[in-house]
Structure 1
Amino acid sequence: MNFVAPTSFPETLGPNALKGVKVLFINMPIREQARPNNPPVGPALLAGRLREYGAEPNIVDLNIYRIQDEEAARRGLEFGRSLTFAEARALLARTLDKIGPQHVIGMSGLITTLTWQTEVAKIIRDLDPDAMLASGGGLATQFRTTLFDWIPELDAVSHSEGDDVILKMALDAKTIRDLGFDRAEKSGRLAPYFHDTKNGRPRFFYQGYRTADLDALPWPAYDLLKEDVDGLPVMEIYLNTPVWGGSAKNSSATSFDMPRSISTISSRGCPFACKFCFRGGQGERNYGVRSAQNIADEFLHYRDCYGVEFIALLDDNFMVSPKRITELADILEPYARDGKLQWGTHGRLDEAADLRPDRNGGYKKADVRRVDEMARAGCVYIGFGAESASARTLDAMGKGGFMLSNGITKINGYEFPLTMVEGIRNTYASGIHGNCTWIMGYPGETLPDLQTSIAFIRWQEEEISRGLTPGSAEHTKALASINKALFTATAYPGTEMFQAPKVMASLGEVFGLTFDAKTKQPVADENYRKYVLELNDASKLIANSDGRPLNYSDMPDDQFVEVRSMLDAGKLDEVLSL
C-alpha cells in the first residue's frame, strides 16, 4: 500500500469537528519489577491533540498499579505486582460505566506488551463492542498489519507518529457511527486508511507521519491522569517517583535525588543508525525538534503547576543541535541559577566530547562545548547509550564511525575510544552527571570485548571519585552513582541486528523462526509470535523451553550464561579475572 499523507488534513478540520467524539487510551503495564516512573506521554500527547478539535479523551494507565500482597511477596516483587487480567477487566468496566461507550479505544505500548494487548482486546470487545479498537505505539509500529492476525479483535492498527493521524481515526469512527459503515465507505470519507473488512467489521491501517510544526502541538494532557475511576491519585504517584536514579530501580543511576519529577519529550527521531535500535514509533531517522522557547515554556509550566524539581526529557538524542542547546541556556539560565529548575536527558558521548578530527590526523576541541551550555541551562543528568567500550563491538553495532573517529587511548591496560573518555570527562567537568548504559552479548562479541566495557565502568568509578576520601560518605555515594548493570543483547524485530546472519541462525535454532530468503523478514507464524511474547526490556536472558539461551556472541553458551549470572550478581571483577 503506497501512502500519501492527506495534504488538507488536519488543516481543514474546524475546532469542533470532533465534538462529542469519545476516545479512551489504555496504557499497558511494563517492567513489573520496577516502580512506574514515567506517565504515559504518548497517550497524553494524543489526548491533548484531540481536545483541540472538541473530542473527549480519557486515559486508563494500567501501568501505575503495583499491588502489595502475598503473590507479590512470593515472586519477590519489591514494589508489588501488576494487575491481573481479571482486575484489569473490572477496572476497565468501572471506567466505561462512568465515561460511557467510546468511539475509539486505543491500546498503547511497547513491543513487550503483546500479551497484555491481546488480553485487553478481548476485554474491550466484550465491554464496548461498538468502539473502534486500535493498537498504536511501539508494538503496532513494529508489526503493523500482522497484528490483525495476532489480535483478531482489532479494528485498526496505527504505526509511527500519531499526532495528526489520531484526528483522522477519531473522524472515521464518528463518520461510521453517524452514517453506518456502508454509507461511510461509499462516501469516500474513510480514505485513505480503510484496509478491508473481516467478519463484518471494517479494518483500518493508519500510517502516521510527522506533523508540520512540533511547536504547534499541545503539551501532554497530564491533567487526565489526576486520578483513576476509584480516586487513585495517578499523577501524584508519578510526580513522587524518581524518573531516574537508584530508587527507580532502572539502569539510570544518579548521584542525586529527584523527589518530585515529571517527563516529556522535546524531539522526534534520531539521525543515527545503531543496528540494535528501533525508532519507528517516534520518527525513525527523521529528526525533528521543538524550539528552545517552547521547551522552556513547558518546563516553567510544570514547575508552577506541579511543583516539580526535576524534568526528564525522554528524547532518544537531545544533543544533536548545539544551536538549540545554547538558545535554551540563554532562556533558562536565570531560572537554573538557583538550582530549583533542573532537568536531564539522553545524548551521545561523541556529542559530549565535542572533538573534531583535523587534517593532521589529530583533533580539535569545540570552542563552546554542548555539555557546558546544557549545564548553564540547568541540566544535571545525561544518559549515554555507550553500549560497549570495545572498538570492535562498536563497529559491529554501527556506532564506530563517530565514536572511533578520534582514535584510541590506553587506560589501566585497556584500549578505550578517546571520544568516550573525553565525553565522560567533559560531562563530569561541567557538573552534569553522566550515566552510561551497556549491552553484553552483541553478535560477535568476545569475552575480551566485554571485559573492556567492564573496565570502562571501573574507570568511571575512578574518575567520578577523584579527590574524594576512600570510604567517606561522598566516595560511597559517587561509586553508587555509576551504572554497573548490563543489558543482554536482544534482537527486536525491525532492527538491523535482527537480520544479522548469526542472529537469524540463532533464532531459527532456538525458537524455530523462519525467514523469507529475499526480504530476510521473519515468517509471521506461531513460533514468531511465541518469540515476541518472550521479549522484555532486555533485562533478562531469553531462553527456549529447553533452557537453551539466545546467545549471539562469540562466547560459548556455558560461558555466556556464567558471565550473565556474574553480572546479575554484581560480580564485575570476577568477569574481569576470567
Structure 2
Amino acid sequence: MKCALIIPSWVPEDIFSSKTAGSQINYWQPLGTLYVAAALLKAGHDVRFLNGAFMTHSHILNKISEYKPEFIGIYSTTFGWDRAVRTADDIKDMHAEAFITVGGPYPVAVQELCLRDADSIDAVVTGEGEITTVEILDRLSQGIDLHGIAGVAYRNNGEVIKNQPRALITDLDSLPFPARELLGEADSYIPPPATYKRKPVAVIMTARGCNRKCLFCFQIDKYRKSGIRYRSVNNVMDEIELCLKQGYKEIKFIDDTLAADYNRAMGIALEIKHRRLDFTWFASACVNQVDKPLLKAFKDAGCWAILFGAESGVQKNLNSIRKGITLDQTRRAVKAAKEAGLTVYTPFLFGIPGETFDEGLKTIEFACELNPDIANFHAITPFPGTELYDNLDKYGSMSSDLTDFTYQGAAFVPYSMTREEIAMLRQIAFKRFYSRPGYLFKRLFTLRNLNDVKAAIKGFQSLFWLWMKKGVFSRKGNLN
C-alpha cells in the first residue's frame, strides 16, 4: 500500500521570536515517525516522508497529488495541531479516498477530541505506532474496519469509537531501526547552534519511558506503570555503527536520562571506546544518577556535552514539580561534569505552581552560580496528558491558544504569578546570564572552529535584541 507520513509545514517563527529564532531553532530527526516508517517498510509497504520543516504547505499538497497515497499519517504536537488539521482537511478535499490518521503527543493525549475537531481525520493512533499502524494497513487492504485493533480511536458512521489501549512494546530490540534513508539531505537535520560539534547529526533513543513523575512531563505511559524499557547495549551499538556507515559524525542520545541505569550507561560508554568508534555525542542525565567516574567514561568515549534539567534554584519549587533532586545534587553534578571536561547545559523553568517572582530571581542567581556553558530559560507548559494539564484548577490558568504551547510563550500562569512576570523573568534571565563579562570572555576564548563562531554570532544577535526590546517573548491566547 502507498503510504505518506507527514509533518505539517512550519517555520521557526511559529515557535520562537523572529529576532531570537536563529540561536534557538533546531531540526531534529523525527524519530517516532521514522520508527513507524521502518515498520511499514518492513511490512512491504511503499513509504514517502514529507517534512514540513523544509516544505511549504503547498509543496506537501503537490507531492500528495502526484503520489496519491492510500494511507496518510500526520504527526502533531500541541502547538502544531491547527496545522495538522489544515493539512488533513486540504488533503481530504483533493484526495477523498485517502485514509488519514494522526499520531504524536497531542493526539495521544486528547484522542477523542481530535476526531471531533476534524471530520477529515479517520483515526488516531493512541500509543506507540509501530505495530498499530501496520495492523491498520492490514485491515484497510482487506476492506475491514478497525474494530478491535488495540491502540486506535476511529470514526465509524459518524460515531467516535475508542478501542482498548495497546500494551507498550517491551522488546525494543525487535523493532527495525528508524528509516533515516527517507530523510533526504542529512545535513538539514541539525540541533540548535552551539549544541553540536560535527555534522551530520543523528538522533538515537536507547530506552523508552521514565520512572519519574514530574508534573510537567508527557509520557505515553502516563502513570509510569511500565517503568523504563531498555534496548540491549549490543542493539544500541548496532544502530550507532549503522549511523556511522550512513555518514553521520555525531549522535544526540535523546533518552530522558541516559544514566537511569548506571551500569548500562557505563557499559554503553565502555563499548563505544572498545570498538574505537569515531563520533562525538551529546546526552541528557538526571543530576542524582551521575558521578565523576561515569561522566569521565562518557568523555573518554567521545561525549562532549551533557544536559542536566536543573529547572529551579528554589528547593520548594523542585519539590512542587516532583523533580526528585536537590540543589546540592545539581551543584555536584555540574561540578563533576566540568571536571570531566564536558560542556554543560542546564534548562530552567519559570511559572512553576506556587513560584513567586522573587523566587524566579533566585533561580536566575542559581543559574549564574552554577555557571554552565549554556543555560536556557523556559516557561513551564501544561501539555495535554501531563498532571499539570489534568489539574489546572489546582495550579493556575491556561492559555486558550494552542500555539502558546512551546515552552516559549506563557501557556500557563500559576496563581502566584502573572503572565507578564513570567515573560519578564525570562528576559532578565537571558540578559543577566549571557551578558556577564566573565562568561563572555570564556565563550570567546573557547571558540575553536567556524561552527563555534557562527553559534556565537547568532547568540550575540539574540542577546542584542533582548537588550534592545521589551516583550520579545510572544503571548497570544487569553487565559482561561
TM-score (norm 1): 0.67
Which residue of 361, 365, 368 maps to 1:458?
Answer: 368
Partner of 1:384: 308
Distance 2:394 2:335 in 1: 35
SS of residue in 2 equivalent to 1:126: helix
How far did residue 565 of structure 1 move?
Answer: 4.0
Match of 1:62 in 2: 52
C-alpha distance after superposition, 1:80-127 (max 9, x if no partner): xxx3xxxx1x3234323443x323201012121111011001111123
Q: 1:379 to 1:562 in 2, by over 3 A?
A: closer
Deviations 1:418-469 (A, max 9, x none): 11111111111222222110101211112332223212221233xx6xxxxx
* Match runs of 1:263-342 below 5 Å: 263-280=203-220, 286=226, 287-306=228-247, 308-335=248-275, 340-342=278-280
- Which structure has the larger Rg? 1
Change beyond 3 A, Cα 1:504–1:146: farther
Structure 1 partner of 2:464: none
- 2:112 aligns with 145
Contact 2:122/2:154, CA 8 A, preserved across alignment? no
Conserved 8 A contact 1:111-1:138: yes
SS in 1 for 2:142: helix
8 Å contact from structure 1 (residues 45, 221) kept in 2:
yes
Please name the residue that 2:405 is paired with: 536
8 Å CA contact 2:69, 2:98 repeated in 1: yes
What secondary structure does 1:437 align onto?
Answer: strand
Mean Cα deviation higher: 294-303 or 205-214 = 205-214
Q: Given residue 450 of structure 1, which amino acid in structure 2 is its aligned partner?
A: G
What secondary structure does 2:290 align onto?
Answer: helix
Q: Separation in 2 of the partners of 1:351 and 1:189?
A: 44
Change (3 A) 1:567 1:441: same
Q: Deviations over 1:500-531 (max 9, x none)?
A: 46556534xxx6xxxxxxxxxxxxxxxxxxx2
- Residue 49 of structure 2 aligns to a residue whose secondary structure is strand
State the distance in 2 between where 1:206 and 1:169 align. Answer: 14
Structure 1 residues without counterparts, runs of 5 or longer: 1-20, 66-82, 177-183, 227-232, 247-253, 354-367, 405-416, 465-480, 512-530, 543-549
- 2: CA distance between counterparts of 1:271 and 1:395? 16
- The match for 1:347 among 271, 285, 295 is 285
Q: Please report how far the alpha carbon of residue 533 of structure 1 lies from its aligned counterpart in structure 2 after TM superposition.
A: 2.3
How many percent of aligned residue pairs carry the same amino acid? 19
Q: State the AA in 2 paired with 1:221.
A: A
**Distance across 1 between alignment mates of 2:225 and 2:296:** 26
Q: What's the CA shift for 1:301?
A: 1.6
- Note the aligned Cα RMSD (angstroms): 2.9
Cα deviation for residue 572 of structure 1 reads 7.7
**Alignment partner of 1:173 out of 136, 140, 147:** 140
Change (3 A) 1:570 1:51: same
For 1:505 and 1:236, locate their aligned partners in 2 and report how far apart those are by CA, in whole Å: 42
Displacement of 1:30 in angstroms is: 5.3
Q: Which runs of 5+ in 2 are unaligned?
A: 14-20, 437-480
How has the CA–CA distance of structure 1 residues 24 and 459 changed in structure 2, closer, same or farther, with 3 Å as cutoff? same
Secondary structure, in 3 states, of the residue corresponding to 2:202?
Answer: strand
Number of the residue aligned with 1:552: 414
Q: Deviations over 1:232-278 (max 9, x none)?
A: x4x3322xx3x2443xxxxxxx5x63343121211111110000111
Asked if 1 retains the 8 angstrom alpha-carbon contact of 2:273 and 2:301, the reply is: yes
Contact (CA 8 Å) 2:388, 2:395: kept in 1 or not? no
Match of 2:5 in 1: 25
Name the amino acid aligned to 1:448. D
Tell me how far apart the structure 2 counterparts of residues 205 and 217 of structure 1 sit (CA, whole Å): 23
Instruction: Output the CA distance in 2 between the equivalents of 1:495 and 1:535.
Output: 16
Q: Find the counterpart in structure 2 of residue 51 from structure 1.
A: 41
Query: 406, 428, 443: which one pairs with 2:353?
Result: 443
| TM-score (norm: length of structure 2) | 0.80
Q: Which residue of 2 aligns with 1:104?
A: 71
Contact 1:158 1:208 in 2 (8 A): no
Deviation of the 1:496 alpha carbon: 1.5
Deviation for aligned residue 1:326: 2.3
**Contact 1:325 1:373 (8 Å CA) reproduced:** no
Deviation string for 1:338-365 (max 9, x for gaps)?
xx32111211111124xxxxxxxxxxxx
Q: Residue type matched to 1:61 in 2?
A: N
1:91 to 37, 59, 78: 59
Q: Shift of residue 560 of structure 1?
A: 4.4
Q: 2:129 aligns with which of 156, 162, 168?
A: 162
User: Does structure 2 retain, via aligned residues, the 8 Å contact 1:310–1:343?
Assistant: yes
What is the number of equivalent residue pairs in this alignment? 424
Question: Does the C-alpha gap of structure 1 residues 566 and 331 become closer, same or farther in structure 2, counting only changes over 3 Å?
Answer: closer
| Structure-2 change in CA distance of 1:383 and 1:224 (3 Å) | same
- Aligned match of 2:174: 216
* Residue 54 to residue 430, structure 1, CA distance change in 2 (3 Å): same
Match of 1:393 in 2: 317
Determine which structure has greater relative contact order: mean sequence separation of CA pairs < 8 Å that are 6+ residues apart, divided by chain length.
Answer: 2
SS of aligned partner of 2:259: helix
Structure 2 Cα separation of the partners of residues 535 and 558 of structure 1: 14
Matches within 5 A, 1:503-542: 505-507=396-398, 531=400, 533-542=402-411
1:7 is matched with none
